[in-house]
Each structure stands twice: as structure tokens, then as C-alpha cells.
Amino acid sequence: MSSSANNVSIVDASKSSSVVVSADERFYAVDPTRLQTLRDEKPWTKVAEPADPSTASSSSSSSSNRPVAKFFESISLSPSAVTKIMMHCQSGVEKGVAQGGNPIEVMGLMLGRPDPFKPTNLIVTDAFPLPIEGFETRVIADDQSVINHMISLGERLEGTRKEKFMGWYHSHPFDLVVGEESRSHCFLSQTDLSTQLQWQRAEDPHGNPFAAIVVDPLRSMHLGTPQLKAFRAYPPEYQSKIANECPDGSIITSERVRLERWGSCWNRYYEMNVEYYMSDASRSILGDLTQNYLWMKSFRRDGQDGDGGDGSGGGGGAGGSESVKVSTLREIATDARTAIGSSASNMIGGGGGGGVGGTGGTFPISKASAIEPVVQKLRTTATKALTKQTARCVHAKVFSPPNQNRNVDADVVAPAAQTENKTGN
């Protein structure tokens, strides 16, 4: 997988020059005319294979030499699509384990379109889960209910979205073997390949090329990053001219290794590069939040926030326990009183009434530099503590079941109410 800059250069036929297309224009500003032209032309069905690879022109691009079966090279996923896909696949794992069994395999559809600015790329803008659950090859769902759900979903989206269903995803929640973390379970089984071929035969001729994504949720949770791969199936009549060529283009001579890595249909499909795109505004906001507020570390489950909020490892920061926070604030306050008292005493010649805790004394602004470091430390620590507590409240409000939200609100409001009662008394 790779993360692309998302900007491409295209040739403007009217001006005979190369034009740089930004990510915002390429992925978010859909040009209906250009998109419909691409759907009508269907270049993925018209690319002819070269008669002899050795006689092909060396100056031609690699894309022009690719056979029709390998027309598409990459697929671009939006942040919302990959987030929804990963959350759905993880929910299958949690549901299966909660029921005392194995993780459940889930499936969904992807919404998107071919890329008018780069025809060999597919764009995924959104994802929708389907009511299908299974354990390996056994599917637990009523086929008619699934069809009705897909029809209803398609009708609702047809009037509001310019994209179409252009792919499907499912999970392979197979066991993560210790010591084999590098081994991915992202491949197409015989059943998966049959499903993908049916989709391609039904949609490709109508200008809507279809793709398949396989997710390895257990490995994703172990590594902390999405582990997924995108595939397209070869037509039945296609035969690779390279012996022992695997879906990723590698050559593996061992039959056992090929079967373990890519399944029994290892020579009937190929892998596409997976890229992620994001608008310039979203990237700017995410970068600011990541660098200045470290908001990702705040959204942790209870019991996982023992590290310091500044990454120092659980000392006196916003990430420590409540007792550590209180102790840290008390120490800073004591340092502040000591610094202020010492400066004030020196100013008035050691008089006892000039300190902060005395009566009738004043502390001039000209001496504020003496306590500036202490005040800054107090402000930083308090801000981190407040930010983390706010993040906890948001996390509890958003991710808790609906019947627990009322209890969360009561826990958050209760301390404030008790404080007001004490003040009133």
C-alpha cells in the first residue's frame, strides 16, 4: 500500500499541453461530462494485447503494454470509506468473540467511480455494510433479504449521489500466528473469485468496472494500520505469459508457498495498488490536530491512558492518573507561591506582609518574569488535563451504547452539581 500525492498531470488536447490536476478537483469535483465519456468509451474492454512483447516499442508506457485483463493498476480510498470498512470488519471480530466463537466474516459494498483523469485508477468514495455474516464458507443470511437491502440502498443513493456501486469488500478474520506477523490473509478464495467474476461480467460492459477488497482485521489491530488489498479477476480465457506469476507480480516457484499466500486460485486474479486520498483542507486540519493537540492519544479506551499526555511515559502530565494530576498541580502551585513570596520579600526588604498570602501587600508587574516559567508550566499541565478529560467525555458519549449515554451524562454533570451545592451552602 502506498499514499499518493494525488496530483496528476493530464494532456489538454485543445491546448496540447500538460495540466496539473489537484486532488480536490480529481476526487471531489466530479465532472459528469468527462465521467460519462469514460464510461461510454470503456477502455478497460478495448485495450488490445501486443502480439509479441519483445517487439513492443520501448518508448511506450507500461500501461499501454498491459493486457486488458490487467487494465486497472490502482484504487484510491477516501478516509471515510476506509474508516467505515475497518470499523465494520472489526465489529465482526468483536461480535464473534463475544458470542464465544470465532470472529465473524462480514461483507459490504463500495461506492465510487472510475477516475476520468487517470483511467487506470478506481476511486472509492464511500462504503456500506451488508447484512451478511459468515464463518469462512458458511454464510448466515437470507439471500432474498440481502438482495432487497441492496435494491433499497441503491434506490436511495441514486437520487443523491453521482457515483455507483463499483466494488465490494469482505474480511478474512483468520488467526494471527505469532512470529508470522508479516503474513497477510488478504487473498481471494475460490468462492470470492466466483463472486468477483460475476460482478465484473455484470458491471464492466456497462461502464462500471468492479473491484474487490479483502481486509485482514486481526492483523490490522495487531499492527495498528489498515491491512487490506484490492483485486481484480482475470477473465476465464486469460492466461499469463509469465510462469508462476502471483497476483502481486512476484514469481514464486514453490507450490506450497503460493497456496499459503494466495490460495488455490493464485493465478486467476491480480492485485492493484491501494492509495488513500484527502483534500488539502482535510490534510491541513488533520496535520494541525496531530501536531498541536495529539488528539489520537486522547481517544483511548479506559485503562489504556497510563502514558503521559506528552509521551513522556506516565509522569505528571495529562495522561497520568487523577491523583498524579492533582499532585502535579499542587507542586506547581507551591513553586509559584515560593517564587512569588521570595520576590516580594526581596522587594520590600523582607517584610512579612508583602507575600501573596499576606494582607495589604502588592506584587508589581515588573517582577512577573520571576514566576513566568512556573505559570507557563501550570497553564500547560492544566490545558493537557482539560483536553484529555474532554476527549474522555466525547469518547464515552459517542462510542457508548445508547442506553448508557444517560448514565454518562449523569457522571459528568454530578460533580458540577455537587460543587454548586457546596458553594450555595
User: 288, 252 in Cβ contact below 8 A?
Assistant: no
**Per-residue model confidence as pLDDT tens digits over 200-231:** 999 999 999 999 999 999 888 888 888 999 99
Q: Measuring CA to CA, which residue among 190, 271, 200, 268 is closest to residue 234?
A: 268
pLDDT of residue 223: 83
- Residue 312: pLDDT over 70: no
Q: DSSP states of 21-61 as a string?
A: EPHIIIIIS--HHHHHHHHHH-GGGTPPPPS-GGGS-TTS-
In 234-338, at which residue ranges do the beta strands (DSSP E only) sit?
A: 269-276
Residue 272 main-chain phi, psi, to 5 deg:
-105, 150
- Reading the block at residue 73, the C-alpha cell is 493498476
Mean pLDDT over 382-387 rounds to: 80
**Per-residue model confidence as pLDDT tens digits over 46-91:** 755 444 444 444 333 444 456 788 999 999 999 889 999 999 999 9
**Per-residue model confidence as pLDDT tens digits over 337-379:** 676 666 555 555 544 444 444 444 455 555 556 667 777 777 7
- Residue 315: pLDDT over 60: no
- Residue 61 three-state SS: coil
Question: Which domains does the chain carry?
Answer: 27-291 (3.40.140.10), 295-424 (no CATH)
Contacts of 17 (CB under 8 A, 6+ apart): 11
- Residue 44: pLDDT over 50: yes
**Per-residue model confidence as pLDDT tens digits over 239-260:** 888 999 999 999 999 999 999 8
pLDDT of residue 300: 44
pTM greater than 0.85 (yes/no): no
pLDDT of residue 404: 52
Return mean pLDDT, the chain: 73
pLDDT of residue 283: 77
Measure the CA–CA gap between 90 and 93, rounded to whole angstroms: 5
